[in-house]
Amino acid sequence: MIQPLALGTVLWSRYKIVEMVGQGGMGAVYRAEDLRLEGRQCAVKEVQHEAEADFAAQAREQFHREASVLARLDHPNLPKVSDYFSEGNRDYLVMDFVAGRNLKEVMDDARRQGRFLDEKQVRAWAEQLCDALEYLHSQTPPILHRDVKPTNIRLTPGGTLKLVDFGLVKLLVPDDSRTITILQGRGTIQYTPLEQYGGDTGHTDIRSDIYSLGATLYHLLTNQPPADVKQRFLQPESLPSPRSLNPRLSPRIERAILRALEMHPDKRPASVAEFRAELHSFSIPEPLTALLPAGGEWGDAARENRTLIALALALLILAFLITLNSGL
């Protein structure tokens, strides 16, 4: 682990380090005072490169090229990147400092009180996160966050979520399903899909962010993180269903989360829009699910068309009620 900057250090003749708010093997995140804009607080993300000259030069070139992409992003659920620079063998990314608690802190408070976060509230937060990820994925080339987790999501005093820490962002290579690294990192184990363990050669795409989002919602709604993919690979039964941990959850949100947490990317939603639709899909009442075929082609068709079946059942019930009332 590298030596952190001393408090009071001034970077780039502009950013005065006030406190360190996070640290990892490749660098740290600091809260800093902007000496040119009085009263402005900012977050400074630090990345230190390895000593090899060839690698360091290549990494620095890539950092500056791709940090400029982040600086062009503008979305209400993302902190604005305002500057980037290098000093010595360290690179720095400057962005808005987001006040407020992260969602893990909010969830931990609820857990200590012996309760779960409200599903309706978590779904509202999921909407904001989907907005942020759809925006990133719609860029040219698409941008992956690769480290969606409760501690990287801050709830501002006004109720807006901010998806912070661009330390693991990746750009999708045009005309290729593979990705190139933008900043150092591998993700946090409980929220990282299996394909992300491939490192810089990993076959990651937008479905990797969907896995991390599903893992985040699982944690927020059950008060415990999901089993990591290495454990699940060896012990498929090691992932408890969300409703076994929190019986008050709706079958709808459980299905959406479990599909996002599928080990193979092809079994997950293909886009954030598809995942969002599943969070809001109609659900078949549990007593009626027992009437559906359990397996085979009919069973597969029934599972794939749950929404249409639920809508048809609702229309049948409505028609029955209308007929009953008209006969009275």
**List 34, 91, 131, 147, catalytic entry:** 147
Tokens coding 277: 């639709």
Distance CA 288, CA 45 (A): 52
Residues 281/306, Cβ–Cβ less than 8 Å: yes
The number of CA neighbours under 13 Å toward the Cβ of 315 is 6
pLDDT band at 66 (very low <50, low <70, confident <90, very high): confident
Residues 156/99, Cβ–Cβ less than 8 Å: yes
Tokens coding 153: 């999501």
Residue 278 has pLDDT above 90, yes or no: yes
**pLDDT digit string (tens) for 149-204?**
999 999 999 999 999 986 546 666 554 444 433 333 456 889 999 998 865 555 78
Give percent of the chain with pLDDT exceeding 70: 80
Q: What is the pLDDT of residue 313?
A: 75
**pLDDT digit string (tens) for 1-10?**
678 999 999 9
Dihedral Cα 231, 234, 236, 238, nearest 10 deg = -40
**Collapsing DSSP states into helix, strand and coil, what is residue 87?**
strand
Dihedral Cα 192, 198, 202, 206, nearest 10 deg = -10
Q: What is the pLDDT of residue 321?
A: 76
**pLDDT digit string (tens) for 107-119?**
999 999 999 999 9
The answer to whether 205 is a known catalytic residue is no
Q: Which residue has the tokens 């559906």?
A: 292
Mean pLDDT rounded to a whole number for the chain: 85
- Judged by average pLDDT, the poorest of 87-91, 124-128, 160-164 is 87-91
Q: What is the pLDDT of residue 241?
A: 97
DSSP alpha helices (H): ranges in the chain?
A: 53-71, 103-112, 119-137, 206-222, 229-234, 242-245, 251-260, 272-279, 286-289, 296-304, 306-327
- Judged by average pLDDT, the poorest of 4-13, 45-54, 222-231 is 45-54
CB under 8 Å, gap of 24 or more: what pairs does 196-203 form?
A: 196/146, 197/229, 197/230, 202/178, 203/177, 203/178
